[in-house]
Amino acid sequence: MKIPYTFCILRYRYDAVTQEFINVGVVVHAPTNQFLRAKCTSKYGRVSKMFGQIDGIKFRQLTEYIESKINEIGNCLDTGTSDVGSSSKKLLERVLPPDDSALQFSDLGAGVTDNLEKEVEALFERYISKYEETKDRNRRSDSEIWKSFSSPLEKRNIGKSISKDVSTSNLSCKFQHAWKNGVWHLCEPISFDLKEPESILNKAIQWLGQGTELKESTDKFKLYLLLGKPQDNNLQKHYDHALGILDKIPNLQEVYQESEAEKFADDLERALAETPHD
């Protein structure tokens, strides 16, 4: 059975006078099925390229907030609240009232479908994701960063590293460079030598999430992050933001820059020579 629906596009509008904008999300509303769903992108690379640098963290927070609040209203429609008969426009105004802010909803479009969830994905692909770059954004890989740190280690008689899996009920991470001395010493090279600000922040956020979850592991470990900074000096402030994010990881022993490779080797050698404690 074909289901009628309305949809609108969430746009990032750079200039109210010129009306230049980039599509950053979609919303689908089917009143007969008590259905309201949103899907937004948190990527802001295209926005930065077209309109110059923006506050990426704030952009991500806003798009994630809009998506979650619209979907929260949609979930309430499923329970049969009094909002069921509300128009698309009124429901969206509860989340993003019309004003002069950068994020704006487009006029409504309409269509029919036999699968509303798939229609949300299809519209998101049509208006947003097909324009987002998917090419590799690394200038240097994580393994290339490891080379900067492995050379000083080879000069010290601390034994060869092994791989170690650390798991929780929700996650399993493999660390390729690990030593054990009472606790596991997990050394992770991370390249932040990337091409775009959002890639740098996303990678830091990913590691914050993983590191926080691994706190629940039964393994006793200390985590050492070995970082490769961007070669592009214009990305330094984004790298600084990434460092602030990484600093929140539980069980984080130390963060080392490539220029501190000798210090890392000294510190690890000293830690492994200490008498282990249970």
- pLDDT means per 10 residues, the chain with 278 residues, are 93 71 92 92 76 75 90 79 64 84 89 94 90 61 89 86 90 90 92 87 89 90 94 92 92 90 94 71
CA distance 197 to 241: 10
Domains of the chain: 3-131 (no CATH), 142-273 (3.40.1350)
pLDDT at 37: 94
Start-to-end CA span in the chain (Å): 64
Backbone angles phi, psi at 134, to 5 degrees: -120, 0
| Contact (CB, 8 A) for 186 and 254 | no
pLDDT at 135: 47
pLDDT at 85: 47
Q: 3-state DSSP call for residue 183?
A: strand
pLDDT at 139: 75
